[in-house]
Amino acid sequence: MTAAEHPVAPDRETLARRLCARYEGIVDDSEALVQSLLRPLPTTVWANPRRLSRDDLLEVLRADGIAATPMAWSRQGVRLDPDARPGRHWGFMAGLFQVQEEVSMLPVALLEPQPGERVLDLCAAPGNKTAQIAMAMANRGTVMANDLRKGRLAALRQTVKRLGLMNVAITAQDGQSIGARAGQFDRVLVDAPCSCEGTFRKVRVPTISTAAFRSRLAAVQVRLLERAMRLTRPGGRLVYSTCTLAPEENEAVIDTLLDRYPGELRVVPANVPGLQATPGITEWEGRRYDPAVADTLRVWPHHNDTGGFFVAVLERSADATRVEEPRWFTPPEEPRSWLEPLTERFGIPWAAFDGAVPVKRGNKHLHLAPVDHRYPEAPAPEMLGLPAVRRRSLPVKPTTAAAMLYGPEATRNVITLETAQTRRYLERHPVHGLSTEQLAACTSAGYVVLRYRGYTLGLGQLIFDRDTGTAHVESLMPKAWLRDGAALMTPEEG
């Protein structure tokens, strides 16, 4: 084959212009849209409100030379430079913040989950929106995080642990087939699989979807949304979102639901103060949509220097069919004495565990879940609650997740690390050079809570060398967290 016979892939600008040409009739400035798609996407994070405020996070990042500015519309959101690498920052490992694309934060802001509710994230992987939901619910109630592919849930498992989320139950089911045995939910999020046109700025090799592909996706999106509607309690809220610009996957999907279920769903006007957005379109390629579709929300990349996004907020009629409550999963009775590795070793008061119920999940770990957690007997969860202690270890080992969640309450066997020591700990190297002052709160060799700059960093194992009379700490930083942090060298989708 000659060089002339080899197909040449279009460059990014050519692809951007092809994509934008399709939407010239519905976007205010097609050339501005093209230029925005060719610029790097800002990196964005949100502060973990259970560990620090956004102002504190801004101070932490700036102290380490990372330029950071607060988002205009989000109380926890922070913008960084496009070349920022927050996944390698110690604050990420310490669960002080989560990396998430800015527009991807919108659905949960509009879902408005409340403490104590039952909330379903139907297409949860990679899990950033699940984490947002669980945080908004103050670690109470029930968040059922589901995704079709079990492998895609691995990152969510680690996010649950790193951020200290007790109220999440993870399932791996086809979202189209979750039935009445799951019960009904106060709020349901469907962040649907889509053609991902809005992620053009962050993918290395962008592609343009075909009409046939969009049509197949739309059929799946409608089925997911129908199932989500049935799982939403009467009067409950349902949020549908995609990261695509295609009306076939956005307004057309909402129009289909409104047409099939007249009177059962109401479009709630989607409005986010501080964010520039446009109303949903009501006509596309000769098809007219229900006028209520104008109350959905479109985000174009050039308006806010973001990716592209679509969100619709729906409310189910109070007269809709109410499903009888299922049998709730009742965890086996577990004595609180299992938590002694946290209370006795670290001096964490028993009162710190008020509101948490010990849950036995297999023979490996004891988990903690909120007292108001209402999980159904089916579908069976892959993970429920927060792993707190490893039962198989002798002595019983506290998990890094539990040490981080309850570490601020620890009064003994706590070591505050210096900057160089922290770097070694995060790289899973032994930490040497511990001073007498650093060891002052330690009673003996064994597990220790590690802190840095006033924040709980993780768990280590203190070892005394009798021959040299020195001590060092073996790093117990989870390998998976380092892997996840490395994967965030560019903004994470979801």
What positions carry a catalytic annotation? 243
Mean pLDDT computed over every residue of the chain: 93
List the CATH number of the domain containing 473.
3.10.450.720
- Co-location of 387 and 291 in the same domain: no
- Co-location of 307 and 363 in the same domain: no
pLDDT at 133: 98
- Whether 478 maps to a domain, the answer reads yes
Q: What are phi and psi of 375, to 5 degrees?
A: -105, 135
Last residue of a domain, one of 395, 420, 440: 395
- Co-location of 343 and 419 in the same domain: no
Per-residue pLDDT at 1 exceeds 70: no
Cα separation, 225 vs 229, in Å, equals 6
Per-residue pLDDT at 4 exceeds 80: no
- Whether 198 maps to a domain, the answer reads yes
- Whether 141 maps to a domain, the answer reads yes
Q: Which residue has the higher pLDDT, 393 or 92?
A: 92
Domain of residue 296, residue span: 12-322
DSSP labels for 165-206? --SEEEE---GGG--GGG--EEEEEEE-----GGGTTT-SS-
Cα separation, 463 vs 445, in Å, equals 5
Q: How many CB atoms lie within 10 A of CB 18?
A: 12
Q: How many domains does the chain have?
A: 3
Neighbouring-strand partners of residue 170:
145, 383
- Co-location of 307 and 174 in the same domain: yes
Measure Cα distances from 334 to 45, 46, 111, 136 in Å. Answer: 37, 35, 35, 28
Q: List, as residue ranges, the binding site for S-adenosyl-L-methionine.
A: 123-129, 147, 174, 191
- Whether 238 maps to a domain, the answer reads yes
- Whether 193 maps to a domain, the answer reads yes
pLDDT at 6: 47
Contact by Cβ (8 Å): 248, 215: yes
List the CATH number of the domain containing 308.
3.40.50.150
Q: Which of 122-126, 139-143, 228-232, 464-468 has the lowest mean pLDDT?
A: 464-468
- Co-location of 205 and 306 in the same domain: yes
Neighbouring-strand partners of residue 310:
242, 298
- Co-location of 278 and 380 in the same domain: no
Per-residue pLDDT at 195 exceeds 80: yes
Q: Measuring CA to CA, which residue among 463, 423, 459, 455 is closest to residue 439? A: 463
- Co-location of 281 and 181 in the same domain: yes
Per-residue pLDDT at 380 exceeds 50: yes
- Co-location of 410 and 391 in the same domain: no
Distance of CA 439 to the CA centre of its chain: 36
**Two structure tokens written together for 110:** 């509009």
Q: How far apart are the first and last CA of the chain?
A: 41
Last residue of a domain, one of 263, 288, 322: 322
- Co-location of 43 and 66 in the same domain: yes
pLDDT at 70: 98
Last residue of a domain, one of 344, 375, 395: 395
pLDDT at 224: 97
- Co-location of 365 and 303 in the same domain: no
pLDDT single digits (tens) 70-95:
999 999 999 998 889 999 999 999 99
Q: How confident is the model at residue 338 (pLDDT cuts 50, 70, 90)?
A: confident
Cα separation, 257 vs 205, in Å, equals 34
pLDDT at 9: 57
Contact by Cβ (8 Å): 280, 226: no
Q: What does the DSSP 8-state code read for residue 280?
A: P
- Whether 5 maps to a domain, the answer reads no
Q: List, as residue ranges, the binding site.
A: 123-129, 147, 174, 191
pLDDT at 206: 87
- Co-location of 355 and 412 in the same domain: no
3-state percent helix, strand, coil for the chain, nearest multiple of 5: 35, 25, 45
pLDDT at 20: 96
- Whether 350 maps to a domain, the answer reads yes
- Co-location of 215 and 284 in the same domain: yes
